[in-house]
Amino acid sequence: MINLETPKKFRTFVDQANQVADNFLRANSRKYDLAEHSYPKELDLLASLIDGMSDSGQGQGAGAAGVRRDEDEAGKGKVKNGTNMSSVLSVIEMCWGDVGLLLSMPRQGLGNSAIASVATDEQLERFKGTWAAMAITEPSFGSDSAAITTTAVKDGDHYILNGEKIYVTSGERADTVVVWATLDKSLGRAAIKSFVVPKSLPGIRVERLEHKLGIRASDTAVILLENCRVPAENLLGSAEVDVKQGFAGAMATFDNTRPLVAGMAVGLARAALEEVRSLLDAAGVEIDYDRPAQSQSYAAATFIAMEADWEAALLLTLEAAWLADNRKPNSMEASMSKAKAGRVGNDITLRCVELAGTLGYSETSFLEKWSRDSKILDIFEGTQQIQQLIIARRLLNLSSSQLK
């Protein structure tokens, strides 16, 4: 049975994450929103602290976690709350502080989650300590990962990679980039693999940084690969092309990262709700949970509806993480949490700006910033439309070719 209360063993950890979010992230939130592309040096100390906690076993998933269902099953049958749950809880608290700064955390990139999910045990040890960005999107496509045109051609004990990747989070600051490429275009999505590409290698370069609406503290890069020779041992997982399996191995990454992005939206929306609740209280607006919403003021009724939506997003996100920790399939639930939380994050932050009036639109409050930051959470790791398509396929038991 799934219990979605915060596990007792994580409560102290969650409180600590909230304090970090308040004292490190929110305290520097406006500074790095205004100073786009400047590296947040304040994060170095925090990253070292998290690394130390993880090395000592006290981190409780503070770092990037992965969905691995081939691990030791000695505890099979027991309910677990492990690194996926603790990572989501941590992300919720940290994004209550600032989304862009969380995405700027050294060694906590989405590429690290890809490595954690797909890498072999040997690769996990070899890439330990790296800061990995993840490069999927290309100029010719957005959320359709199967449309990848970046190529990886085998040449002895290396692969030669050629292609262009856009919207790479932490693309400039990260040490390595997890690049998705195809081994053979004629074999379709089954030939898509992911490679760990150190940025020190010849043939990979950052072409430019993007100026963005939100998450301005985070660097978002365009990366070019021109005859970049990558050691064959840096291909994550198996090099075999299994036409029956498709690219399920590479896509397993999303079973972990989508609940994390959902957690980002949940944390950000909670921050906006708390801010507006404080403003409504100060304005004398009464919110009564014992009375029907339609019999209360517009502001009170709107707030109650937003809270209900937020609660639903939170529960879906925790469910997806719980399933991953207990080695259960969670692909549909991961997409459900991402779809719900991404949309809720947008709706809540924009409504909070409206409820706050002129204060919500000015830099006096974080509300305008949170509304800008929230938009990307409904887009990256698969847009709202892509998530709904995945959910429909799972519910109807149809393949991608049957339901497009």
**What's the CATH code of the domain at 153?**
2.40.110.10
**Of the candidates 45, 363, 387, the residue with the CA atom closest to the CA atom of residue 216:** 363
Q: Is the domain of 162 the same as that of 259?
A: no
Q: Is the domain of 291 the same as that of 374?
A: yes
376, 384 Cβ separation under 8 angstroms = no
Task: Among 126, 144, 170, identify where a domain stops.
Answer: 126
Q: Which tokens go with 332?
A: 């549909």
Q: Is the domain of 286 the same as that of 330?
A: yes
106, 43 Cβ separation under 8 angstroms = yes
Is 71 an annotated catalytic residue? no
Number of domain units in the chain: 3
Dist CA 83 CA 266 (whole Å): 18
Q: Is the domain of 287 the same as that of 354?
A: yes
Dist CA 91 CA 264 (whole Å): 6
Q: Please report whether residue 101 resides in a domain.
A: yes
346, 370 Cβ separation under 8 angstroms = no
Q: Is the domain of 297 the same as that of 392?
A: yes
Q: Please report whether residue 146 resides in a domain.
A: yes
**Of the candidates 174, 271, 153, 276, the residue with the CA atom closest to the CA atom of residue 223:** 174
Q: Is the domain of 390 the same as that of 271?
A: yes
356, 295 Cβ separation under 8 angstroms = no
Task: Among 126, 154, 171, identify where a domain stops.
Answer: 126
Residue with structure tokens 């770092």?
A: 63
Dist CA 127 CA 367 (whole Å): 39
Residue with structure tokens 């990262």?
A: 257
Q: Is the domain of 54 the same as that of 189?
A: no
**What's the CATH code of the domain at 108?**
1.10.540
106, 131 Cβ separation under 8 angstroms = yes
Catalytic choice (93, 138, 368, 381): 381
Q: Please report whether residue 361 resides in a domain.
A: yes
Q: Which tokens go with 325?
A: 């920790």
Secondary-structure percent of the chain, ordered helix, strand, coil, rounded to 5: 50, 15, 35
Per-residue pLDDT of the chain (404 residues; tens, 9 = 90+): 566 678 889 999 899 999 999 999 999 999 999 999 999 999 988 888 776 655 544 444 434 555 555 554 445 667 787 888 998 999 999 999 999 999 999 988 888 888 888 888 999 999 998 999 999 999 998 777 778 999 999 999 999 999 999 999 999 999 999 999 999 988 888 899 999 999 999 999 999 999 999 999 999 999 999 999 999 999 998 888 876 555 555 677 788 889 999 999 999 999 999 999 999 999 999 999 999 999 999 999 999 999 999 999 999 999 999 999 998 999 999 999 999 999 999 999 999 999 999 999 999 999 999 999 999 999 998 899 999 999 999 999 998 889 98
Q: Is the domain of 100 the same as that of 165?
A: no
Dist CA 364 CA 149 (whole Å): 45
Q: Is the domain of 283 the same as that of 342?
A: yes
In DSSP terms, 152 is beta-bridged to 161
Q: Please report whether residue 165 resides in a domain.
A: yes
132, 178 Cβ separation under 8 angstroms = yes
Q: Please report whether residue 196 resides in a domain.
A: yes
Q: Please report whether residue 404 resides in a domain.
A: no
Residue with structure tokens 């786009």?
A: 36
Q: Please report whether residue 375 resides in a domain.
A: yes
| Residue 114 identity (one-letter amino acid) | A
Q: Is the domain of 220 the same as that of 315?
A: no
Half-sphere exposure of residue 62: CA atoms within 13 angstroms, side-chain side: 26
**What's the CATH code of the domain at 353?**
1.20.140.10
What residues make up the domain containing 374?
248-396
